[in-house]
C-alpha cells in the first residue's frame, strides 16, 4: 500500500518536510501549543465549561449576527482577543463574546490563518 507523501511544515517560512498528518516540524512544535496540548491542557476543562454555559445563558444571542440584524442563538463563548495561553486574558469576562458556531469558525479561521508570533532574544 502506498504511503502519503510528506508535507511542508505549516510554520511561516519553514520548508522542512513532516510526515502526513503532522502540522509542524520538531523545531516549530513548541511555538504552536494549541496543536500539541489537549483542550483541558489549554484551560478548557470543567471550570471553563461551567463558566461558559453560565455566560451563554446570560447572553443568548450572537453579537455578530445581531450587527447584521439577525437573531441567532449562541453556541460558543469566544475570546475577543485570542488568549494564546495567557490565563488572565482567558478568564477576563470583558474579553468574552457570545457567537454562533458559523461566526466563531469564521473569526477563528481568520485569526489562525495569520497568527501573530512573539519571539524573544536568547
Report d(CA 46, CA 15) in Å as an integer: 39
What is the per-residue pLDDT for 101? 95
Task: Give me the residue spans of the domains in the chain.
Answer: 1-36, 43-113
User: Is the whole-model pTM more than 0.95?
Assistant: no
pLDDT at 13: 86
**Residue-wise pLDDT tens for the chain (122 aa)?**
668 889 999 888 888 999 988 888 888 887 776 666 666 666 778 899 999 999 999 999 999 999 999 999 999 999 999 887 788 999 999 999 999 999 999 998 887 766 665 655 65
Cell of 40: 483541558
Predicted local confidence at residue 26, as pLDDT: 87
In whole angstroms, give the CA distance from residue 23 to residue 30. 12
Amino acid at each position: 500500500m502506498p504511503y502519503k507523501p510528506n508535507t511542508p511544515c505549516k510554520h511561516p517560512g519553514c520548508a522542512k518536510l513532516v510526515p502526513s498528518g503532522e502540522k509542524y516540524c520538531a523545531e516549530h512544535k513548541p511555538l504552536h501549543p494549541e496543536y500539541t496540548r489537549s483542550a483541558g491542557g489549554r484551560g478548557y476543562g470543567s471550570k471553563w465549561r461551567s463558566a461558559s454555559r453560565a455566560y451563554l445563558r446570560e447572553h443568548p444571542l450572537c453579537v455578530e449576527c445581531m450587527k447584521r440584524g439577525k437573531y441567532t442563538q449562541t453556541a460558543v463563548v469566544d475570546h475577543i482577543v485570542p488568549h494564546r495561553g495567557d490565563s488572565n486574558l482567558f478568564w477576563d469576562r470583558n474579553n468574552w463574546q457570545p457567537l454562533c458556531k458559523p461566526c466563531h469558525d469564521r473569526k477563528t479561521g481568520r485569526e489562525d490563518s495569520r497568527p501573530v508570533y512573539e519571539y524573544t532574544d536568547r
